[in-house]
Structure 1
């Protein structure tokens, strides 16, 4: 099987290395395509070439995936797949531009350097070519998480957009504190803030442009900031009910409750 990977960034390179196929890379950055091809033992292809491949994989930013599918789908003979991270628009574009071909959207739920991991899989029209690709990914130790495009994109509003907005908001609002004043919760948030801000800004911007979720975080923060003590207790119990199923009745032993060990823990 030969696979054209459009997009020679970290995710496209990971995909080319993770599958058992002959690969070619096409990218607006020719040097990036050459580097990816060298790394995985593939070839470089023209971005507007006329050659066809068994499979075309779109590994482009999620804000550009529908346009890339429209431009590249006719180069596929058997299947079109993507690893952009947004599924409903991608699969709709595939159905429009490759109605007779196999169509699968993949979302690796990890950074390439942390592979293997869980990969969300939405099969719109599966078949032998995409089955072989998925089998190769599973053989590399990845866990395939079968889903629908709607369920995936709905989950990403919380898993990515809301989560990133909350962590970035803390990273922007936090001020330096003297050594020794760290609490368990602060240490965890500090670690998350460092992890998130060590990434690629464009990726986080694309996520916020694609998925709702940040507004809900902003609204919740505004409610907390404006709350009086009784209102804050009610918000705390509402949050606890979201995560524990019912209002908090005690502590969980993790040292974060100020009444538990005599500290200010939070």
Structure 2
């Protein structure tokens, strides 16, 4: 990775205020992300956005806080990211990172673990963290932690984002990194990004096959936990019954959403409303669509 000049004004070991650290973070994120097509939104919040397509938004941001042990460390920051379609319930980039964590909540570490589990290349000697700790009064620590975070972005987030080129690959991404966004609920307002499921599963049969594969994998994991004595046989059977019930319910809900003509028409109407609302919100924050 190209070495960055993250030096701060002045020298020596001294207190670094929140504004000074935040300024350094914004500069580093801008330097790293702009070559990949990201732009910081208007206003104070550190959301960096790229429209992968006119239908797909990608966000990377950070959250800066006081360290948990202020007598030992001064500041800590966390890096989050998300991919979503303009058909999700809401895209609001005019709020804090903390307030946006209903959907912008995947961390470097989660991406590393899931990549490793799914056979995606990982950098064993550069396992990213969740919190990046800046030692009190230590500018070298600030530079080190920012560089470490930028490496995580370039090694895990950007490659995963680059694979999202249409709604089908958006579903691929969410299945791997943001499964909760694809959980089907009876209440349409609670269905994160399920409206894009037909891009990958065009009918009930294809979705049922996918759900059955998920169920078999869930059974395998439960049986493994039982064999390792991490779960009793009774607990395993109860877990499997719950899984089977939930998966069967998912299939019924999918059929209701995307096969029933009246419901399909209602969903198309909702999609159009969400797209208009979200695109206007994105443009308001200075992002071209």
What range describes the TM-score normalised by the shorter chain of this pair? Answer: under 0.3
Please give the TM-score of this superposition, normalised by the length of structure 2.
0.25
Please give the TM-score of this superposition, normalised by the length of structure 1.
0.27
- Greater RCO (Cα-Cα under 8 Å, separation 6 or more): 2
